[in-house]
């Protein structure tokens, strides 16, 4: 038989496969190719069974995941040596089976027990995530219930894997919907705040509260910020209701005074008409009189009418004076209302210059965080920081530049600290940062990071770039300690930081 080219052998091989109605798989093609070529077929390599084994092997850590990738590649190359190396590497990264053993058990858990434990953990994860995804999508709820049933009752790993993949796809849609709903609700909330602000342009206190609400409801949101929004909104509603009630009362009083005034003017007009009529009648009678005796009764009527008119005028004068006094009282009441709102503005929770919490806001934040930390047994730190050389800064550049420097520090600090932290102006150039769920070392690291951030963001005073630094003291609150004691300890550490070179953070 003359030597045939590989292409001729391949065509003959495909004809045989078609004649025998065999699928042109690599195994069938290889066996019949060597048969046509008259050569020895290589040893059998079970590619498909090996791929199935690789598909069900778990990857519990990055090392196992990498070795499974090498195993898949080795199967594609039909290399026993590489398959062996990948399996040995996979075994070296195996998670100890004791990690999945039931509590109190000295024996490692069986693979089936491992799978059951893993499915139970996934089921708990789904149950924990469900409340955050809402209850409006009936199809998602049904699919979640079915997924939980399979995880807890099905032993078919492949079926559970397929169902979990489908559920994850549906879960992504539900999460996107909730994100859109949250974004839309925030937009609606901002529209409501803006509308209230536009309707109350002349009320400085309410305008300031609306601006604070807009800032507090800007993402990223957390429960503390939402709690702040709720408290502020309650203040706005209470003050707005109080102002509306007093304004309505004052308006009603003014309307009553005006009505009384118009009524008295009408009565005065009627009295004046009657008086003029009587005087004209007396004048006519005087003209007709021929004797002195006839003038007596006429003059008596004229005197009586004049006295009555004078009495009515005096009564109307007294009533008008009383109305004037009531009007002045109403004006004073309205002025008092505005003064009360101005005082409420001064007592708001945020500092007017920097926009951070003021002393009142700090007191509320600390009380809330202390209660939470003691209830949950978590650490709580408080940091007191003071700008270095601030008096010299003010003397050289002026108080306006000093105020701008305080604003710069507050802006950088707000962007550098975590969302759960609270920043407050304690007084002058001193600021306090409340750090919940944070130990002393971690709190010092946060303040140090803020110092580094300030070195990269210079303060601009005209055309000059100035470096602002601060010294800080950090104290971790003890179980029986109150806010004043913790800040006092932080203050002592802060002064020690200043005496030892400034631009430092020390723990109390």
**Active-site residue numbers?**
429
From the CB of residue 67, how many other CB atoms can be counted at a distance below 10 Å? 23
CA–CA dist 134, 140 (Å, integer): 10
Q: Are 37 and 59 in contact (CB under 8 A)?
A: no
Give the bridge partners for 423, in sequence order: 433
Cα-based distances in Å from 397 to 388, 410, 465: 15, 19, 13
In sign, the C-alpha dihedral spanning 134, 138, 142, 147 is negative
Residue 89, exposed/middle/buried by CB under 10 A (0-12, 13-18, 19+)? middle
Cα Rg of the chain (Å, integer)? 44
Which tokens is 479 given? 């179980």
d(CA 476, CA 444): 10
Dihedral (Cα; 255, 258, 259, 265), 10-degree rounding? 180
CB-CB neighbours of 356 under 10 Å: 25
What tokens does 394 get? 């003010």
Neighbours of 495 (CB within 10 A): 15
The DSSP result for 72-108, as a single string, is HHHHHHT-HHHHHHHHHHHHHTPPPGGGGSPTT--SP
> For residues 481 and 111, what is the distance between their CA atoms, to the nearest angstrom?
51
Q: How far is CA 159 from CA 131, 147, 164, in A?
A: 26, 11, 8
| Burial of residue 434 (number of CB atoms within 10 Å: 0-12, 13-18, 19+) | buried
């Amino acid at each position: 038989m003359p030597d045939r080219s590989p292409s001729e052998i391949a065509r003959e091989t495909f004809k045989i496969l078609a004649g025998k109605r065999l699928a042109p798989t690599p195994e069938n093609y290889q066996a019949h190719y060597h048969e046509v070529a008259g050569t020895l077929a290589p040893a059998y390599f079970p590619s498909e069974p090996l791929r199935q084994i690789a598909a069900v092997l778990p990857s519990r850590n990055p090392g196992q995941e990498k070795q499974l990738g090498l195993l898949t590649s080795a199967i594609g190359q039909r290399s026993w040596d590489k398959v062996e190396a990948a399996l040995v590497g996979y075994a070296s990264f195996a998670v100890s089976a004791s990690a999945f053993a039931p509590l109190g058990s000295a024996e490692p858990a069986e693979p089936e027990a491992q799978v059951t434990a893993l499915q139970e953990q996934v089921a708990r994860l789904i149950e924990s995530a469900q409340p955050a995804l809402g209850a409006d999508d009936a199809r998602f709820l049904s699919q979640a219930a079915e997924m939980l049933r399979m995880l807890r009752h099905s032993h078919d790993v492949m079926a559970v894997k397929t169902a979990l993949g489908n559920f994850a796809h549906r879960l992504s849609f539900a999460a996107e919907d909730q994100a859109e709903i949250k974004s839309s609700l925030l937009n609606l909330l901002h529209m409501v705040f803006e509308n209230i602000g536009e309707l109350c342009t002349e009320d400085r206190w309410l305008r300031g509260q609306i601006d604070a609400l807009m800032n507090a409801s800007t993402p990223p949101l957390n429960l503390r910020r939402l709690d702040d929004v709720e408290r502020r909104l309650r203040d706005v509603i209470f003050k707005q209701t109080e102002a509306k009630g007093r304004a309505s009362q004052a308006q009603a009083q003014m309307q009553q005074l005006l009505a009384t005034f118009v009524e008295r003017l009408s009565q005065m007009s009627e009295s004046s008409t009657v008086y003029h009529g009587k005087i004209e009648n007396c004048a006519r009678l005087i003209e007709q009189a021929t004797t002195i005796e006839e003038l007596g009764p006429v003059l008596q009527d004229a005197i009586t009418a004049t006295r009555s008119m004078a009495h009515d005028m005096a009564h109307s004068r007294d009533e008008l004076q009383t109305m004037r006094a009531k009007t002045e009282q109403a004006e004073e009441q309205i002025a008092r209302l505005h003064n009360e709102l101005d005082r409420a503005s001064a007592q708001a929770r945020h500092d007017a210059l920097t926009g951070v919490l003021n002393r009142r806001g700090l007191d509320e934040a600390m009380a809330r965080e202390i209660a939470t930390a003691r209830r949950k047994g978590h650490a709580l730190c408080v940091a007191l920081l003071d700008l270095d050389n601030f008096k010299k800064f003010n003397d050289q550049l002026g108080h306006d530049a000093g105020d701008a420097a305080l604003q710069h520090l507050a802006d950088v600090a707000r962007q550098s600290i975590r969302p759960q932290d609270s920043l407050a102006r304690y007084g002058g150039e001193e600021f306090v940062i409340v750090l919940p769920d944070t130990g002393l070392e971690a709190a010092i690291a946060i303040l140090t990071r803020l110092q580094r951030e300030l070195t990269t963001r210079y303060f601009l005073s005209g055309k000059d770039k100035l470096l602002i630094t601060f010294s800080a003291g950090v104290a971790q609150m003890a179980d029986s300690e109150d806010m004043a004691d913790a800040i006092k300890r932080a203050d002592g550490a802060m002064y020690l930081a200043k005496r030892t070179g400034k631009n430092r953070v020390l723990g109390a």
